[in-house]
Chain A
Amino acid sequence: MQRRGGVTWRVLGAAVALGALAAVPMHAAGFSIFEQGTKSMGMAGAFTAQADDPSALFYNAGGLAFLDQRDFSVGATYIKGLKADFEGANPFPGEGYRASQKKLSEFPPHLYYVQPINAEWKFGLGIETPFGLTTEWEKPNQFAGRFLSTKAALRAFDVNPTIGYQVTPNFGIGIGAIARISDVELNRNVGVNNPFTNRIVDAGKLKLSGDFNEGYGFNVGILHKVTPSFSWGFSYRSQITVDYDGDARLTQVSTGNAQLDLALASRLPFNTKLPVKTSIDFPDEASLGVAYSFTPNFLVEVDANWTGWSSFKEVQIDFTGGATNSLPDTTLPQGWKDAYNYRLGLRWQANPTSQWRFGYVYDETPQPEVGVSPLLPDADRNGYCIGYGYTGGWKADFALMYLPFKDRSRNQNRPGAEADTFFGTYKTDALLLGVTLTF
């Protein structure tokens, strides 16, 4: 027991170090990241009915049952933002207004270890980064949406021990436990009306940090190889709630008017630690895939993936301090809907050492128009993928994905008091490069 605990903590330590790299934009719609294995990425994630490498731990635990050698696999996806622009619309911030997000360069990693126990039972440990987002605006102190968000970052990684069992030589199941470790950071400026000019001026910067906290869940999978050329798979990962403890800090910024600065300093809790609690409900997701080999060297897979984003109703921020170190509680309404994405993958074995892969994914946004904001502007997107795998004494996989987002416009408000006008169109493009090495 003692020893296993020790190992767990060492793995966890490594995971934390890896997780520190993993602040990324959302690269499946919403803020999930479906790129957790480069072989799969080459086929746009249409992999549930194959799941024939260590990334089965993420894509379909049922595939683990068929892995018959000890493997260690490590990789990362380099995500490069090509464009993340905003064009305003009336009434606010108005036609002709332009802003840009910082172009992201991030490396969400993945790491898998697979150890067959015997012909039927297999053990695997995965460390994945299935959720994350960074939305950071250029020139944050001029950005017209700075009172909504200047930078939002969410990081999450899963420690995912899994058991696979071959029920029959062509029917495998798997079940795993998930410990999700996540932190979150929200930044915005605080604006007040300058009573001398009746214009809005910056009075402070609010930074809210939810420290690393964890939540628990599970995953299950089935892989059924019906015939040598036809298989289907199903995978499910549960909803996980992470409750964050953290603190916020409101740093005073001079409004340019000494009297106003003085008046504000006596009313706002500047430059002190404001204890805060928040919570995020990460969605569950399910994938169903079928794969068919037209020839031994040419396989096609089609997947449908459902993500239960309706869990993401709101982000409630509770300030738990007393009279002198607290701010009013806030709710950031989200009101997302469950969403589907559809994946098509092709795989062509050119020769015993080389495999080419192609893929397309249509990913539908879970975010309603009224929820689109500088905090997290999401959109429908198309992903076009190409991948290459080398198999020798070890394996190397490479994949490239071009991910243009559909233009996303917000021109209406949520009904009621929560409505917060920030209208315009978000234009986003990204390129992803995946590399995974398996030993």
Chain B
Amino acid sequence: MHRVKILASLLALALLTAGAAFGQADFSRYVALGDSLTAGFASGALFRSAQENSYPALLARQFGIANFQQPLVSDPGISATANFGALTLARLVPTPVIAPIPGQGQPLNLTLNRPYDNMGVPGVTVHGLLTATSGGFNNLILRGTGFTQLQQGLSLRPTFVTLWIGNNDALGSATSGTDQLLTPLASFEADYRAIVAAIASTGAKMAIANIPDVTSIPFVTTLTRFIINPQTGQPVLIGGNPVPLIGVNAGDFVLLTATTAEAQGFGIPTALGGNGQPLPDSVVLTAAEAANVRARVNAYNAVISTVANERGAALVNANGVLTQAATTGIHVGGITYSSAFLTGGIFSYDGVHPTPFGYAYIANLFIDAINDKFGTDVEPVNLFPFVFGFSSSAASTAQVVFDDSQAGPPFVLTREAGRNVLLSLGVPKSVVDGTPAPKPRKPGHGRH
């Protein structure tokens, strides 16, 4: 009888330990570290209706966290340029026009007496997350405390951290038509390891996401290298052949920002009504530059994957899913979502950041990776409202004034819109506004 009792208690103990060993992750204090993608940035701005569905906010909801704090900004949001909010689609036919909504949102949560749970800062690189205390969106989110994003996030003593950083180490380069703004691999690795080591030292569990192939986003892939007749939307044919834009070769990418230059006649021969000058270098990502950017992203991802393995972190394959979106599409309930600009449903009007559906889908990638790694049972986010809309959603009614008289190539990103996007990606102002001068070779170190 006695022996049976002992056996029973041993069994109970074994079960308890097994229980503890299973589903091992504590989500009670969750902190998100990262950049614009973590902040819930969309359509070139940080604004409440997008932030409320940032992937960290969605994860917090699925983790059962009630009081998840974010640096909310009222609509139409704050962009990288004063007096302009989020981008909106002003017109679809005959030529789509995307322009920023005039005005600016106000910070709604500036007085929170502790760091935000979502510490994502638009525009920051790996080095910025580790070292920056001010500048750009840091001012809004780090609030001049003198502490870095990493320091503030870890001061909350999180039990669980998501980290998605490194996008801006490659994005700014791709969207500025160069391979010269890439963070050198050695400094990327050193900074990345320092960040993950700091998180690991707190004992928090981690999910870390890798970096998408930034040459597969609509900002880079949407425009063709051929001259388009704005009336028909079809390529102009001479002798049955399409006419390439001046200065653009096979395999080169014409960036979304090229539409302003094209409208001014750049890239178009005088015979076809253009000014006969090549497109500025800053709006063309050449095949060679794209290959270099891709190779660097792959190298960054190799670092991320290695570090994730070393630290026992869940690895979220954001790159894989964005590649799927750009190739076969993502299928949900018979709907095919893709990386196509405007029609694809995954990317917002800046051609870089996701739509609410895109963010919700990414949240589920995190959840899948976390459940796989830690044996937890976090319920996926219900995508229904992101597919069909929230029944109570108040559609943005902000109107945009734009110059209707100009016929341009398909997808006109107005000048302000383009400038906005680049600045938000941490592209230096000198590059965004500078005359296309020969690019200086950077000595091997990060930009911050």
Chain B window 280-300, contacts with chain A (Cβ cutoff 8 Å), 1 for yes, 0 for no: 000000000000000000000
Interface centre among A145, A191, A260 (most CB of B within 10 A): A191
CA distance A144 to B343 in the complex (A): 20
Q: Is B139 an interface residue (CB 8 A)?
A: no
CA distance A164 to B396 in the complex (A): 76
Q: Is B249 an interface residue (CB 8 A)?
A: no
CA distance A194 to B92 in the complex (A): 10
CB pair A198–B395 under 8 Å, yes or no, is no
What's the least CB distance linking B86 to chain A, in Å?
12
With A147-B335, A200-B335, A421-B333 known as contacts, the answer to whether A92 contacts B387 (CB < 8 A) is yes
Residues from chain A with Cβ under 8 Å of B335 in the complex? 147, 191, 200
Q: Is B379 an interface residue (CB 8 A)?
A: yes
With A417-B324, A421-B333 known as contacts, the answer to whether A198 contacts B382 (CB < 8 A) is no
CA distance A193 to B93 in the complex (A): 15
CB pair B387–A199 under 8 Å, yes or no, is yes
CB pair B91–A259 under 8 Å, yes or no, is yes
Instruction: Bin the interface of chain B by size.
Output: 35 or more
Instruction: Bin the interface of chain A by size.
Output: 35 or more
The contact of A196 among B92, B356, B364, by CB within 8 Å, is B92
CB pair A92–B333 under 8 Å, yes or no, is yes
Chain A window 171-210, contacts with chain B (Cβ cutoff 8 Å), 1 for yes, 0 for no: 0000000000000000010011101111110000000000
> In the complex, what residue of chain A is closest to B337 when comparing beta carbons?
A193
CA distance A88 to B379 in the complex (A): 13
CB pair B332–A421 under 8 Å, yes or no, is yes
Q: Is B334 an interface residue (CB 8 A)?
A: yes
With A91-B381, A195-B342 known as contacts, the answer to whether A147 contacts B333 (CB < 8 A) is yes
> In the complex, what residue of chain B is closest to A143 when comparing beta carbons?
B333
CB pair B89–A418 under 8 Å, yes or no, is no
Residues from chain B with Cβ under 8 Å of A200 in the complex? 335, 345, 387-388
The contact of B383 among A91, A96, A419, by CB within 8 Å, is A91
CA distance A83 to B380 in the complex (A): 28
Q: Is B344 an interface residue (CB 8 A)?
A: yes
Q: Is A217 an interface residue (CB 8 A)?
A: no
Residues from chain B with Cβ under 8 Å of A95 in the complex? 379, 382
CB pair A198–B332 under 8 Å, yes or no, is no
Residues from chain B with Cβ under 8 Å of A257 in the complex? 92
Q: Is B253 an interface residue (CB 8 A)?
A: no
CA distance A92 to B328 in the complex (A): 19
CB pair B344–A91 under 8 Å, yes or no, is no
Which 5 A-B pairs give the minimum distances between C-beta atoms? A147-B334, A94-B382, A193-B345, A417-B328, A148-B334
- 11 more CB-based (< 8 A) A-B contacts, given A191-B335, A420-B333: A91-B332, A92-B387, A93-B383, A93-B384, A95-B382, A145-B334, A146-B334, A147-B335, A200-B387, A421-B332, A421-B333
Contacts from A to B (Cβ < 8 Å): 88, 90-97, 144-149, 188, 191-193, 195-200, 257, 259-260, 262-263, 417-422
